[in-house]
């Protein structure tokens, strides 16, 4: 019954997406807990509902066509925060570019080497390569390099949350005190979630993280096809 | 105003696709569009106030667009269940290694820069 009702009404899918995100945002605002990212809580609610009501994913996907269609636009607008932080970029140009480039290469190399060593499925590893990029870029990269876009998007969300929670602890452990270095690591390794965390530490960390996210995403797009050559 | 902003942002994405279709680079069209819009703002063809409102709105609600693909993970639950440890280990290890390298290299280059400045007699402190 629930299944037929959901499928017959063309608005149900998008209504659920927006509604669950709204609930997720309220939960996050109340708790301020990094693990409770609205995208994680809302997606979990939707998956549980679809499985309970036995609604196929394709039906839900088609009912969200409007959102899916303008999704590529979300990468283009990253130019605005990058331009706003141009001053801080110019001030530490070499350390920023070197740090982001080294971090991006290191994290992608680690995926390929460790994954191959323990025998992870190739389709999963390829989907994991762009995981540190922001989702607007990662999802398109996944399509180009032959990964599974849905898996990549979920791995990007997981990376953001792990990085946002563990990142500051790692930085404390290895005694990184410089605001620039902290911001660069957070933004280049865990995109928007890391950036939100960086802004809690301070203005410089936040701006650094914000521009690192855009630059790391671009580098990931350029370098990912190179790492796929190892498969 | 919003229409003009939307038009400019869509134009950047349009040119991104146009370039990607003609040059056949293995770089996503929307990343090319992002680079084009950034270059246009830097050069001054497009002013920040011509694109900021729509951009800020989209960035604020970025996650909404990625709920549908994230929900798509339900199609791969079997694969993930089989490979769970094989996913978590490289994922966590690569995040930790990435954090370590990014932070250490940035800090190293900042120190090198400060040392050069001291040599030139310009003072080592990085005053804000």
Give the model confidence (pLDDT) of B11-57 as tens digits. Answer: 999 999 999 999 988 899 999 999 999 999 999 999 999 999 999 99
| A139 shares its domain with A108 | yes
Q: Which two tokens stand for residue A41?
A: 């809580």
| A138 shares its domain with A195 | yes
| A137 shares its domain with A180 | yes
8 Å CB contact between A195 and A210: yes
A63 contact residues in B (CB cutoff 8 A): none
pLDDT, averaged across chain A: 95
**Cα(B49)–Cα(A34) distance, integer angstroms:** 32
Instruction: Tell me the helices (H) and strands (E) count for chain A, helix number first.
Output: 14, 0
**Cβ-defined contact of B64 to A67 (cutoff 8 Å):** yes
Give the model confidence (pLDDT) of A128-171 as tens digits. Answer: 999 999 999 999 999 999 999 999 999 999 999 999 999 999 99
Give the model confidence (pLDDT) of A23-61 as tens digits. Answer: 999 999 999 998 999 999 999 999 999 999 999 999 999
| A123 shares its domain with A143 | yes
Sorting pLDDT into bands at 50, 70 and 90, what band is A1?
confident
User: Which has the minimum average pLDDT: A109-113, A122-126, A132-136, B59-63?
Assistant: B59-63
| A65 shares its domain with A86 | no
| CB atoms closer than 10 angstroms to residue A97 | 17
Question: Which chain A residue lies closest to B15 (C-alpha atoms)?
Answer: A76
pLDDT at B128: 43
pLDDT at B127: 45
8 Å CB contact between A36 and A28: yes
> Of A201, A199, A214, A202, which Cα lies nearest the Cα of A83?
A214
| A108 shares its domain with A65 | no
Give the model confidence (pLDDT) of B73-97 as tens digits. Answer: 999 999 999 999 999 999 999 999 9
**Cα(B83)–Cα(A148) distance, integer angstroms:** 15
Q: How many domains does chain A have?
A: 2
pLDDT at B120: 77
Q: Which of A48, A70, A92 is the last residue of a domain?
A: A70
Sorting pLDDT into bands at 50, 70 and 90, what band is B122?
low
What domain range is A41 assigned to?
2-70
Q: By the CB < 8 Å criterion, does B101 face chain A?
A: yes
Size of interface A-B (CB pairs under 8 A): 303
pLDDT at B83: 95
- Supply the DSSP string of B59-124, one letter for each residue: HHTHHHHTHHHHHGGGGGHHHHHHTHHHHHHHHHHHHHHHHHHHHHHHHHHHHHHHHHHHHTTS-S
**Cβ-defined contact of B69 to A149 (cutoff 8 Å):** yes
Portion 15-74 of B in contact with A at CB < 8 A: 16, 26-31, 33-35, 37-38, 41-42, 48, 51-52, 54-56, 58-59, 61-74
Query: Which comes out higher in pLDDT, residue A49 or B125?
Result: A49
Task: Give me the residue spans of the domains in chain B.
Answer: 1-65, 74-128
Sorting pLDDT into bands at 50, 70 and 90, what band is A88?
confident
């Amino acid at each position: 019954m629930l299944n037929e009702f959901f499928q017959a009404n063309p608005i149900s899918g998008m209504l659920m997406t927006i509604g669950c995100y709204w609930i997720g945002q309220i939960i996050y605002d109340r708790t301020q807990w990094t693990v409770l990212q609205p995208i994680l809580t809302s997606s979990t609610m939707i998956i549980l509902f679809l499985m309970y009501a036995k609604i196929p994913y394709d039906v839900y996907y088609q009912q969200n066509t409007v959102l899916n269609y303008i999704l590529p636009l979300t990468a283009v607008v990253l130019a605005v925060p990058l331009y706003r932080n141009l001053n801080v970029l110019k001030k530490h140009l070499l350390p920023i570019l070197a740090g982001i480039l080294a971090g991006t290469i290191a994290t992608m190399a680690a995926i390929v080497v460790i994954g191959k060593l323990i025998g992870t499925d190739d389709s999963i590893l390829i989907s994991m390569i762009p995981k540190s990029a922001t989702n607007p870029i990662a999802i398109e990269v996944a399509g180009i390099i032959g990964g599974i876009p849905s898996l990549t998007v979920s791995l990007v969300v997981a990376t953001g949350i792990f990085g946002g929670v563990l990142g500051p602890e790692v930085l404390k452990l290895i005694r990184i005190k410089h605001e620039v270095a902290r911001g660069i690591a957070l933004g280049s390794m865990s995109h928007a979630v890391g950036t939100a965390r960086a802004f809690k530490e301070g203005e410089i960390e936040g701006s650094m993280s914000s521009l690192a996210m855009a630059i790391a995403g671009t580098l990931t797009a350029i370098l990912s096809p190179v790492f796929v050559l190892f498969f | 105003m919003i229409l003009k902003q939307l038009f400019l942002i869509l134009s950047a994405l349009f040119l991104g696709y146009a370039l990607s279709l003609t040059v056949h680079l293995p770089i996503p069209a929307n990343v090319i569009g992002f680079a084009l819009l950034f270059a246009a703002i830097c050069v001054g063809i497009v002013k920040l106030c011509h694109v900021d409102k729509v951009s800020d709105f989209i960035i604020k609600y970025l996650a909404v667009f990625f709920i549908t693909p994230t929900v798509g993970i339900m199609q791969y639950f079997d694969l993930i269940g089989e490979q769970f440890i094989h996913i978590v280990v490289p994922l966590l290890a690569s995040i930790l290694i990435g954090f370590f390298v990014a932070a250490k290299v940035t800090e190293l280059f900042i120190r090198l820069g400060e040392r050069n400045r001291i040599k030139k007699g310009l003072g080592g402190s990085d005053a804000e």
